[in-house]
Amino acid sequence: PSAEGFTSPANNVVGARHNLGNLRQRRVSSSRCRLQMNLPGQVSKKVIVTGAAGRTGSLVFSLLDKDPRFDVVGLVRSEASAKKLIAKTKCLLEEVVISDVTQMQFDKVDDDDNDNDDKHPWPYALDNTEAMVICTSAVPQISKRSVVKAMLKIPLNILTPKKKAINFRDLQFKYRPGQYPEMVDYVGQKKQIDFAKKLGVKHVVLVSSMGGLDTNNFLNQIGKDKEGKGHGDILIWKRMAEKYLCESGLQYTIIHPGGLVDTDPSKMELVLDVDDALMQREKKSISRGDVANLCIASLTESGGRSVAFDCVGEEVAAVDGGGEPVAVKGAADVLRDFLTTGKTADYTLEPGTQSTMT
């Protein structure tokens, strides 16, 4: 069977195998490794990672792929993304499924009055999934025209006292047609949540973003023109998708990271809070690897409880007063401690209230 947005079962991994055969590594199947490492009677939890070829998604996928407690499937939008994921993580072809999340069509799967409806319009490789980690997000592209304009200003800027050679505020970003925040971060994520329910998924982990209460956040301006028109408001659309997940009836963990940086994980102390309280900090960044670790911790430490939180990394001294290395608490311990506080994001707060909070 096949449906719009899904490849047919015969091609539900990457597609033409001869095109990707050179990417397949000569190694034992990771699923076999998991079976060998699991204790007698222990069954790996099957997890789908959407947006698995992205910078954060691939880290989450890689961690799950190496963990004997999980059986992971990466869901990507295109064959190019599938190739990228396989090359980056050295995973097997069978661990990757191609599907454009914005084109998922399964509203009539349960319509008993229409015998022509496909009762199984998704690849069988996704069946029996217990959890889903959503890492999809609209990604802006830099405007080449704005780069050229910024470079033309360099000679004058150099001659002007106290002016930088390049004013990075002059650089403009935009989204590719059809890949706007509304389509990817709202419509696409809603469809993934609906799909999770159709699959019988019990727990959804959603990687979103901090700043959802601040309508003036600079991320919301990306994709808009000088008059404020265009396809922007990414944090607003993300928050709308979060609220949809909260109302879905599924167990959820919603992670709001600060600015994502490509540094080594487990080097900073993780700080968790809610409702953009961490936006008041001078430094609001966090390693992508730490976010990936929090995703894994969410799958193992939540204990059936739904929660939404913000997270940043805080620098720690390399050694303590006695000259001993400072141990950084792991993501699982940090999340476990946070869950005991009973805190979670308040979704009755509307965007625009961030500036009034203490």
Pair type for strands 173-174 and 269-273: unpaired
Query: Among 30, 99, 209, 287, which one carries the catalytic annotation?
Result: 209
Beta strands in 104-202 (DSSP E): 131-134, 141-142, 173-174
What are the angstrom distances between the C-alpha of 152 and each of 145, 146, 149, 221? 11, 10, 5, 24
Exposure letters 289-328 (e unless 16+ CB within 10 A, then b): bbbbbbbbbbbebbeeeebbbbbbbeeeeeeeeeeeeeeb
Q: Tokens 């033309």 — which residue? A: 152
Concerning whether 298 is annotated as a catalytic residue, the answer is: no
Token pair listed for 192: 């993934």
Query: Do 70 and 35 touch, CB atoms closer than 8 A?
Result: no
Decide: residue 229, CB within 10 A, 0-12 exposed, 13-18 middle, 19+ buried: exposed
What residues act catalytically? 209
